[in-house]
């Protein structure tokens, strides 16, 4: 396994991040345990979750599964860099969502209890809260860091200017601020190259791409449909919109002699700003299959071809659209 530092921190994490969103709704608890055990065996030490995963309001189903896995001992918690999130609605009361100081405090304590741990390695804001001032957010996060309940703070689904504003205010408070950003990023969704990636590079944030396979669109969808496997309505709709690109992409992957999913992950790993794409396996086979991406080295010719198939926005703003 390859490791890298998370943004400008000294924290070393695996180049693949185990996403746990399927644990509970789609993957049984015993199978989830087996996947997490296998991940550690493969030296994947970076796990991502969120308090809303499990999709039963207020229950934190996925965090509870992780907590029961940690409780088995044998160094499971010590070997894992666990990242979770705050923002989503966890109840019907007025202050059980978003990023007020009150909700951050209570959500953190609830996540700690569910995961049966006394600290969170990376506590991520699941979305920007435009109604809460940064002074309030940072005061709450600083308190959690002082108490040892949180080690690092990250963001998710932030715009470039949100990252800049957040970290400039953190700097004024002599606080480390954001160290990572988790964004939608894949070959077919490259909008963040305009301003989010440049902001991450300038402020020293590690990029953690979610949906690196575009919900399966980049995972060999044509091959799977031809073999009789089903695709969700959303993936079918996306395929019809992008059929020409996907046909060209899968043909190119065949030329390379590689699986489409592995090429999609390898393309992300080629970017020095990317810390670790989030892989969300439902099975052990999907987990172990992802490791091939670490071995693929795309040359300039291959990168150029992928740019031709999936044109990005043209680079960073403003040069992407102006002189």
Report, as residue numbers or ranges, the catalytic residues.
Answer: 53
CA pair distance 52, 36, nearest whole angstrom: 19
Q: CB of 151 within 8 A of CB of 7?
A: no
- 239 CB-side CA count, 13 A: 20
Cis peptide before 266 (omega within 30 of 0): no
- What are the distances in angstroms from CA 213 to CA 139, 227, 277? 36, 19, 10
Q: CB of 245 within 8 A of CB of 188?
A: yes
Nearest to 154 by CA among 143, 168, 165, 167: 167
Strand arrangement of the beta sheet that strand 81-86 belongs to: 206-210, 178-184, 150-156, 120-125, 81-86, 46-48, 17-19, 278-279
Q: CB of 154 within 8 A of CB of 123?
A: yes
Phi/psi of residue 187, nearest 5 degrees: -55, -30
CA pair distance 311, 105, nearest whole angstrom: 42
Phi/psi of residue 21, nearest 5 degrees: -60, -25
């Amino acid at each position: 396994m390859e490791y890298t530092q998370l943004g400008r921190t000294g924290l070393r994490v695996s180049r693949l991040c185990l996403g746990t969103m399927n644990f509970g709704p789609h993957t049984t608890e015993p199978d989830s345990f087996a996947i997490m055990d296998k991940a550690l065996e493969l030296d994947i030490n970076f796990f991502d979750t969120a308090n809303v995963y499990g999709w039963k309001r207020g229950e934190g189903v996925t965090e509870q599964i992780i907590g029961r896995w940690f409780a088995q001992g044998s160094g499971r918690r010590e070997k894992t860099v666990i990242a979770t999130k705050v923002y989503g609605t966890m109840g019907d009361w007025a202050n059980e969502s978003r990023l007020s100081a009150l909700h951050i405090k209570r959500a953190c304590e609830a996540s700690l209890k569910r995961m049966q741990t006394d600290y969170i390695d990376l506590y991520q804001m699941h979305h920007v809260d435009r109604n809460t001032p940064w002074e309030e957010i940072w005061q709450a996060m600083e308190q959690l860091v002082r108490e040892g309940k949180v080690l690092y703070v990250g963001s998710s689904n932030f715009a470039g200017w949100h990252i800049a504003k957040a970290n400039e205010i953190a700097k004024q408070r002599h606080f480390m601020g954001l160290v990572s950003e988790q964004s939608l990023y894949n070959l077919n969704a490259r909008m963040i190259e305009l301003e989010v990636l440049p902001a991450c590079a300038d402020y020293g944030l590690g990029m953690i791409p979610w949906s690196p396979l575009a919900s399966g669109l980049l995972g060999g969808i044509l091959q799977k449909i031809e073999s009789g496997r089903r695709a969700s309505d959303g993936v079918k709709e996306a395929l019809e919109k992008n059929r020409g690109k996907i046909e060209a992409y899968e043909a190119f992957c065949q030329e390379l002699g590689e699986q489409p999913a592995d090429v999609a992950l390898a393309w992300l790993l080629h970017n020095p700003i990317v810390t670790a794409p989030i892989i969300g396996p439902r099975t052990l086979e999907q987990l172990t299959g992802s490791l091939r991406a670490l071995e693929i080295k795309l040359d300039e010719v291959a990168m150029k071809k992928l740019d031709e198939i999936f044109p990005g926005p043209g680079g960073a703003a403003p040069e992407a659209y102006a002189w």
